[in-house]
Amino acid sequence: MTLDITSITRAYDGLPALDDVSLTVRDGEFLALLGPSGSGKTTLLRIMAGLDRPSAGQVRFNGEDFLALSPRERRVGMVFQSYALFRHMTVADNIAFGLKVRPRGSRPGRAEIAERVRDLLRLIQLENFGGRYPSQLSGGQRQRVALARALAIEPRLLLLDEPFGALDARVRRDLRRWLRQVHEQTGVTTVLVTHDQEEALELADRVAILRQGRIEQVDTPQALYDRPASAFVHDFLGEGLQLQATVARGEVVSNNWRAPSDAPTGDALLCIRPEDLEAADHGLVGVVMSSLRRGDRARVAVSLHGRRLELDRAVNDPLSALAPGDPVRLYPRRFHVLAKSA
């Protein structure tokens, strides 16, 4: 079942939070909405859930007008950063809550609810925790229970709003791996909101990058990293270098370095990833700031046209032999020539 979002606009007091956003979430897909604070990703998720309404546009799920349905009628499961568990209820009762409050005609029997809760406790690897209360759980365990509660209603769509934001880094890493396994087991169409690039790239089948209420690019994590459509996407997805450049007569020129390019003529940005730089007799001129060896790897910091870059290299790489203060020329074996971000 496909979720189709078409020309969605949402304004608050005349200021657009979303500006003509169109997006398709494929059946069974894990899609991440990634962007900085204020980019509109949570607003878009709330519109999917029925917790907010757009100023204009359409949302259709498997052809059905989602905007005409109440949040309950949409059968959407949602997990928040704050867990939103009922403190006075046990883990089992929290998971069962969405089933118990269904209208009488569609409410499962007690035995069916109990079996569903047992299945979900096994899924979240908390089989023996059904009788505990949220206060007796760790943060990671509470978030697992929140996910089980969302899955209990057998949602057509699962929405995750910064679900790991309140957890420490190690727990987040463990839960990311676990969540991906759960998705592969359940196959439910899932949309994740996050500002964490590593989280989005590790979890999602595709990532939609938002900026100032618009979608900059939608693609697989690898394609976004390898083929960014804009300087913003290149910069947002990882450490990199962006230099002022000019394209003319089939060449890009930046800081006395030039290379063939089929980019449009005019001013541009030369965008380079640290891993694509190698020591050479010609290239961009820099200075080694520090070099730290750990086992068979070296971490070399280079100042390159006013930007500090951390280069991870093997100890037998020519860069690893340089000392702080040494000049170095770095040749980009791969680069992107992109328009300047507005």
d(CA 5, CA 146): 26
Q: pLDDT category, 256, cuts 50, 70, 90?
A: confident
* Region for 339 from its dihedrals, namely left if φ exceeds 0, alpha if ψ lies in -120 to 50, beta otherwise: beta
* pLDDT of the residue at 261: 93
Q: State percent of the chain over pLDDT 90.
A: 63
* pLDDT of the residue at 22: 97
Q: Can you give the pTM of this predicted structure?
A: 0.87
Kindly state the average pLDDT of the residues 327-339: 93
* pLDDT of the residue at 342: 62
Q: Which tens digit of pLDDT belongs to each residue from 91-102?
A: 999 999 888 877
Q: Mean pLDDT in the chain?
A: 91
Residues 6+ apart with CB under 8 A from 95: 117, 120, 121, 130, 145, 148, 149, 152
Residues 6+ apart with CB under 8 A from 217: 208, 209, 224, 228, 229, 230, 233
pLDDT at 84 over 70: yes
pLDDT at 105 over 80: no
**Domains along the chain?**
3-231 (3.40.50.300), 239-338 (2.40.50.140)
Kindly state the average pLDDT of the residues 209-238: 94
Kindly state the average pLDDT of the residues 298-311: 91
Kindly state the average pLDDT of the residues 177-183: 88
Name the CA radius of gyration of the chain, rounded: 24
* pLDDT of the residue at 166: 66
pLDDT at 236 over 80: yes
Q: Which tens digit of pLDDT belongs to each residue from 15-30?
A: 899 999 999 999 999 9
d(CA 335, CA 8): 34
φ and ψ of 213, to 5 deg: 80, 5
Maximum mean pLDDT: which of 134-143, 157-166, 168-177, 244-253: 244-253
* pLDDT of the residue at 81: 76
Place of tokens 């989280």: 199
* pLDDT of the residue at 153: 85
Kindly state the average pLDDT of the residues 190-208: 94
